[in-house]
């Protein structure tokens, strides 16, 4: 059954009427990542165990109506950027209808989707009609065997085709996220830079983080962002992109010869950017996470289902955000990785 088009907030519910979300460190929160499922058809080792996970039963997942209800509150608290994630978001039936409803919320300035691209081609026309504005596609190898080694599925041509379809449909700029792992795919850095130039893509290189399923993360497998920059700069000279939002996770560069495309470097391990973080996350089972590496979560599902008022939910949200961690502590000696893997948290 498809999700009905729900009513938009009234003026009294619109942006910032509840007061802006701000943590105890003075950071204003305006970016919400919404995970709609923990399921995925890929088995990327940096994201989940190779054998997969015990998926959450449907009863434990937020319904789309519940997601919409909570998102209206978040928008009323000043959230202006929404990103739909998984797992693989397009595995959940009805997600296009959810996006249509979210696109209708006033004062939402950016609505994007992160996907592995497997199902994107067939969904693109409906996503565009629903009001989706941008798409980010996870792609960690341009080599068929390398792609299979990382994802445990033979689907590289299908993902490449989805990138082409998304570009032609206007879901631009299409961003491609590449998680680099030393000895696995770091030899493809220059190939991805050339891919960005040929296709006019925004390719973003992400440092390998300790959120993997097998628990195999180690610092010597991290490819530092500085190395990525130096290697691309040596082949394709770069210039910084002017006017960057300080809360952006990526350091952005364009090609100095004017060729289209862009390089982004996201270096949370070697160059943490926590001081300007403006993001929070809502998991598919209704937990609010104030950091990707949070050891504590705040339950919104049960209060919502128990009939909590909007004011009561606002109190939970504001209290959680006020306690947002100053940073992720990856580089601290006593760092403890969260129990949830990336696929369960949402990107």
For the segment 90-123, what is each residue's pLDDT rounded down to a tens digit? 999 999 999 999 999 998 999 999 999 999 999 9
Question: CB neighbours of 57 closer than 8 A, spacing ≥ 6?
Answer: none
For the chain, list the strands marked E by DSSP.
Answer: 31-35, 81-85, 110-115, 134-138, 175-180, 202-207, 238-240, 251-255, 262-266, 279-282, 287-289, 298-299
How large is the average pLDDT for residues 149-176?
97
Tell which wins on pLDDT, 175 or 291. Answer: 175
Closest CA to 340 of 217, 214, 211, 218: 211
Closest CA to 236 of 257, 250, 252: 257
Q: What pLDDT sits at residue 249?
A: 85
Residues 216-238 have pLDDT tens digits of: 778 899 999 999 999 999 999 99
Q: Is the pLDDT of residue 15 over 60?
A: no
- Residue 3 included in any domain: no
pTM: 0.90
Give, in order, the Cα–Cα distances in Å from 30 to each of 107, 109, 246, 276: 11, 10, 13, 12
Q: What pLDDT sits at residue 11?
A: 34
List the beta bridge partners of residue 229. Answer: none
Q: What pLDDT sits at residue 347?
A: 65
* 40 in Cβ contact with 48 (< 8 Å): yes
- Residue 62 included in any domain: yes
Residue range(s) defining the domain that contains residue 59: 11-345
Q: What pLDDT sits at residue 224?
A: 97
* 212 in Cβ contact with 45 (< 8 Å): yes
CA 1 – CA 65 distance, rounded (Å): 13
Residues 308-322 have pLDDT tens digits of: 999 999 999 999 999
* 228 in Cβ contact with 265 (< 8 Å): yes
CA 218 – CA 181 distance, rounded (Å): 10
Confidence of residue 273 (pLDDT cuts 50, 70, 90): confident
- Residue 128 included in any domain: yes
CA 106 – CA 125 distance, rounded (Å): 23
Closest CA to 166 of 134, 118, 214: 134
Confidence of residue 6 (pLDDT cuts 50, 70, 90): very low
User: First and final CA of the chain: distance in angstroms?
Assistant: 27
Q: What pLDDT sits at residue 51?
A: 60
- Residue 38 included in any domain: yes
Average of per-residue pLDDT values in the chain: 90
Q: Is the pLDDT of residue 262 over 50?
A: yes
Span of 179-183, 303-307, 332-336 with lowest mean pLDDT: 332-336
Closest CA to 210 of 345, 32, 56: 345
- Residue 241 included in any domain: yes
Count of structural domains, the chain: 1
CA 151 – CA 179 distance, rounded (Å): 12
Residues 51-98 have pLDDT tens digits of: 656 678 899 999 999 999 999 999 999 999 999 999 999 999 999 999
* % of the chain beyond a pLDDT of 70: 90
> How many residues make up the chain in this entry?
347
Q: Is the pLDDT of residue 2 over 50?
A: no
Q: Which CATH number does the domain housing residue 71 bear? A: 3.20.20.70
- Residue 215 included in any domain: yes
CA 268 – CA 181 distance, rounded (Å): 14
Q: Is the pLDDT of residue 141 over 90?
A: yes
Q: Is the pLDDT of residue 204 over 70?
A: yes
Longest Cα separation, the chain:
59
CA 147 – CA 160 distance, rounded (Å): 12
- Residue 145 included in any domain: yes
Q: What pLDDT sits at residue 261?
A: 97
Quick one: tokens of 180? 């680099």
Confidence of residue 342 (pLDDT cuts 50, 70, 90): low
Confidence of residue 131 (pLDDT cuts 50, 70, 90): very high
- Residue 5 included in any domain: no
Q: What pLDDT sits at residue 145?
A: 97
Order across the sheet with 202-207: list the strands. Answer: 238-240, 251-255, 262-266, 202-207, 175-180, 134-138, 110-115, 81-85, 31-35, 279-282, 287-289, 298-299
- The values of phi and psi at residue 67, to 5°, are -60, -45
Q: Is the pLDDT of residue 212 over 90?
A: no
Confidence of residue 338 (pLDDT cuts 50, 70, 90): confident
Tell which wins on pLDDT, 34 or 11. Answer: 34
């Amino acid at each position: 059954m498809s999700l009905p088009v729900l009513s938009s907030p009234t003026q009294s519910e619109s942006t910032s009427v509840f007061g802006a979300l701000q943590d105890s460190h003075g950071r204003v929160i305006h970016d919400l990542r919404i995970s709609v499922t923990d399921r995925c058809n890929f088995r990327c080792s940096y994201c989940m165990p190779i054998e997969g996970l015990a998926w959450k039963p449907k009863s434990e997942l937020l319904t789309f109506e519940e997601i919409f209800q909570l998102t209206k509150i978040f928008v009323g608290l000043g959230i202006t950027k929404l990103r739909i994630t998984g797992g693989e978001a397009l595995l959940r039936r009805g997600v296009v209808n959810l996006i249509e409803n979210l696109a209708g919320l006033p004062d939402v300035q950016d609505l994007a989707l992160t996907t592995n691209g497997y199902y994107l081609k067939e969904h693109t026309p409906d996503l565009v009609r629903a009001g989706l504005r941008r798409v980010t596609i996870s792609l960690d190898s341009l080599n068929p065997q390398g792609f299979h080694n990382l994802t445990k599925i033979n689907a590289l041509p299908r993902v490449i085709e989805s990138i082409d379809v998304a570009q032609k449909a206007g879901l631009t700029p299409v961003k491609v996220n590449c998680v680099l792992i030393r000895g696995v795919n770091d030899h493809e850095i220059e190939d991805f830079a050339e891919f960005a130039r040929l296709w006019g893509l925004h390719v973003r290189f992400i440092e390998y983080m300790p959120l993997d399923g097998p628990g195999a993360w180690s610092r010597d497998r991290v490819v530092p962002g500085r190395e990525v920059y130096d290697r691309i700069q040596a082949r394709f000279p770069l210039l910084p992109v002017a006017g960057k939002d300080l809360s952006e996770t990526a350091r952005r560069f364009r090609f100095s010869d004017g060729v289209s495309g862009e390089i982004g470097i996201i270096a949370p391990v070697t160059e943490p950017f926590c001081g300007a973080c403006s993001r929070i996350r809502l998991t598919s089972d209704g937990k609010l996470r104030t950091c990707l590496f949070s050891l504590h979560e705040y339950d919104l599902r049960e209060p919502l289902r128990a009939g909590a008022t909007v004011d009561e939910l606002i109190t939970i949200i504001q209290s959680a955000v006020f306690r947002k961690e100053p940073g992720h502590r990856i580089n601290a000696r006593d760092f403890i990785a969260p129990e949830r893997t990336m696929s369960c948290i949402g990107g």
